[in-house]
Structure 1
Amino acid sequence: MDSPSNSTDPAPETTASPASLTPTFVGRQVCGECHEENFHLHSKSGHASTFVNTRDSDIAKKFVGKTLDAGEPYGLLEYSMDENGLRVKRVDDPSNQSFPLEFALGSGHNAVTFLSLVSDADEDTLGIEHRVSWFAADDHFGLTPGQIGSSPTTLAQFFGNSVQDEHMHACVNCHTTSGKIIDKNIVDLVPNVNCEKCHGPGSEHVRQARLSNNPPPFSVGNDDWNAESELQLCGDCHRLPIDFPPKQLREYPRLMARFQPVGMLRSQCYLQSRGKFKCTTCHNPHQASTAKSTEAYVDDCVQCHTENTADHVACPVSPQTGCIECHMPPLRFEQGMTFHDHYIRVHPED
């Protein structure tokens, strides 16, 4: 049931040979040599802390010495830390055997959940999403979303739900810049969602920048990059309609507010924008969304909805204030997590 620690601390390359056909990762520290402002904004964003070995996680350290109730039939769980990271054991387990909690996933702005990689009965790699998570709301511990009402069928599942195949790989893909699961190990690991997750490996750009005072631009995508391209990039992790069954998309239950691109794509702001409205219309991708004030977000709305024209409609109730509260309200989910609904509309009463 135990598995080896497999978090790595990659040593970024700073240059690549001109003859190299495939750009390589250089690491965010190298990007920060020139892009200092974005580097510092990113360091305070949720993207900068989405994946870490539990031995290095301040959130994981909150669990040490705690005994937490995971509910029946899971029982009480007791936590400790060793040189490899966080461990957990069931208080009523006579074998006193502990289970490794290897990786802490999540920015900590809403929650942090632990992931372990183990072998199943066929010796294939299986992910275990730990049953208990930490939540930023009131700094508390609680059941991981999606695990209420679940029941264990294997010994490993007494510590959390199993995640396998594409879902397991998606956990790592969306929380890291680079990483591939092979035989309970994560190879080519570059943890967290850093610059090169969106911009791509930067070795050739760095090489040219160090040779020239005016290097060619290096940004996301190609010359034909547009709003659709951006939505596909963000939605790869934040989810797209293709990730959900048609019935759920039609009904748009409250849960869908957690998946911002899905709501945005059905909003008239997007549909009537002729391809101009996109994620970065309101969000600086290098900055934490919470670092921007509500007033600044309202200004984004007013930039379009200034007056009644053929292209824009001003709000008849409050054309200058209250846009977010009425049309994109924060919705509270289990364990106190909060997400703004990006289906921009006259919001129905709860």
Structure 2
Amino acid sequence: MEQDFPGGREIIRQAFLLRGTPASALDATLASLSKHTIAQYTKPLRLWWSFCMKEKICYFAPPVSAVLEFLSACLPNTGSYSSLNTYRAAISLLTAEEIGSHPLVKRFFKGVACLKPQRPRYDFTWDPSPVVQYLASLYPHENLSLELISKKVAALLALTTAQRVQTLAAIQLSQIAVSDKVIIKISTRLKTSGIGQSQPLLIFKQFVERPELSIFSLIKFFINFTRDLCRSDCDSFFVSFRPPHKAVSSQTLSRWIKAVLGSAGVDISIFSAHSTRHASTSLAASKGISLDEIRRTAGWSETSTTFARFYNRPIINDPAFQAAILEI
């Protein structure tokens, strides 16, 4: 009978022990991997586990040929080079020889890069203007339900900060300072956190010209709105609509933002909640905002080419202007 998969964290723990990590150093060693990284590795590790059980291969010390056979079998069902590369990284983490760096494995991935080159997810992006107009229509805030006000906060934060949804889900009430501006520190470790890298810091000033779009005012209102709903031990900024109003996950925030995009007319069969990063950074670039400012706001490093390669997309606007020209 096939042994049940023990779980991603447990299998990595076993691998570290087998590679010589003493029990006293195990917790610190495991802390080098964020919970998001472990979650990302769990699927490929489960598939690798099933493959090894079926083929009667040692899970922690496989031959290179077995790894290549496994990766080849996964290739048709893997959408991109980066996805399959996650499989390699997961397996390499388990083996003492770090088999993912073997010359034959590296050669195999050069071929994968040719067969499935990395491309931007979107060839174009949506115009944020209708979304901003829709969000502005959700006003005054006193007349909104918890659901609508929560979705407005989530979508407006996503657009104006260009941060990942994971970052927004990590916002804690104890890390929000309100004075003449709102300052939000992100203390939670994120997937992108690293040694020597600064954690995201979100700053919002008053926007008196457009109170319906003032994040400064909206955050203060939202905090007061939800203060009496949550238990004393809940420090999350975003909470569920229904009692007991627990902290929500990044997946829930993604659904909220996607619902807002759909209500504003964005084709959500094409665009996900993550597309707010594409739309907002592309619009900022088209309006002359410097690349350094875009990188700093969105959390990319000074030398990152991610924006230029994958995010700076043409914005699809309403064709009314073209129609007006052609009808002259």
Kindly indicate which of the two structures has a greater share of residues assigned to strand. Answer: 1
TM-score range, shorter chain: under 0.3
Output the TM-score relative to the length of structure 1: 0.21
Between Structure 1 and Structure 2, which shows a larger proportion of helix residues?
2
